[in-house]
């Protein structure tokens, strides 16, 4: 006997119950279904919605624009727990049919956080996303004035010390300490 489960195709705040649709879960027989549109894929989508909706008892508020200009959604589950997620993350989870892991983020291809079209969004790991948005570290090689050896440091540390009027740069703390105590 097929299972009937109520799942809203798109959850919008204030929808009356009569607008929610009933879908009929497929009967899985002994055949090997195709992975894209077959019963297995439908069951995966169904399992996602059941996890997300906690058996259909969920309220959704938003999207609303926060002070930083990004859109967010507030979701209240059946257990009464409220969570806030970004609107692009909500859209990607709904499109993919699975929850994103905490290590995954949604990236805007055109780098406009207000453009939430599905073709503009992609899922990336946090490490990949941060490396794409940050400039590579700049290194500076120099000769230590205390011991005369050649050393390498991050350029931001060397610039910071020069801006503060400090001597150096030095290859180590030991050389910096010897320099300050030498006559």
At residue 160, the pLDDT reads 83
* Whole-angstrom distance, CA of residue 147 vs CA of residue 149: 6
Residues 15 and 63 in one domain: yes
For range 161-169, the mean pLDDT: 85
Q: What is the pLDDT of residue 123?
A: 94
Q: Quick one: 36 and 119 in the same domain?
A: yes
Mean pLDDT, the chain, whole residue set: 75
Choose from 13-17, 54-58, 152-156, 159-163 the range with maximum mean pLDDT.
152-156
Compute φ and ψ for 5, nearest 5 degrees: -130, 135
pLDDT more than 70, % of the chain? 67
Whether residues 116 and 37 share a domain: the answer is yes
Q: Quote the pTM value.
A: 0.49
CATH code of the domain containing 88: 3.90.75
pLDDT on residue 120: 93
φ/ψ (deg, to 5) at 36: -80, -50
pLDDT single digits (tens) 111-140: 888 888 989 999 999 999 988 888 888 899
**Tally of domains within the chain:** 2
Range of the domain at 170: 139-181
Same domain, 82 and 146: no
């Amino acid at each position: 006997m097929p299972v009937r489960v109520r799942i809203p195709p798109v959850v919008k705040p204030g929808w009356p119950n009569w607008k929610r649709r009933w879908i009929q879960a497929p009967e899985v027989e002994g055949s090997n279904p195709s992975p894209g549109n077959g019963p297995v894929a439908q069951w995966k989508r169904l399992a996602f919605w059941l996890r997300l909706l906690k058996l259909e008892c969920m309220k959704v508020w938003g999207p609303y624009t926060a002070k930083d200009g990004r859109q967010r959604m507030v979701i209240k589950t059946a257990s009464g727990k409220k969570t806030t997620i970004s609107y692009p993350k909500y859209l990607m989870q709904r499109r993919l049919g699975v929850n994103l892991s905490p290590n995954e983020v949604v990236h805007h291809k055109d780098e406009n956080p207000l453009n939430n079209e599905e073709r503009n969004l992609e899922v990336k790991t946090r490490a990949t996303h941060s490396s794409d948005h940050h400039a590579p570290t700049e290194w500076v090689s120099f000769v230590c004035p205390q011991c005369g050896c050649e050393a390498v440091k991050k350029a931001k540390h060397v610039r910071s010390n020069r801006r503060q009027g400090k001597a150096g740069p030095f290859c180590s703390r030991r050389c910096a300490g010897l320099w300050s105590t030498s006559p």
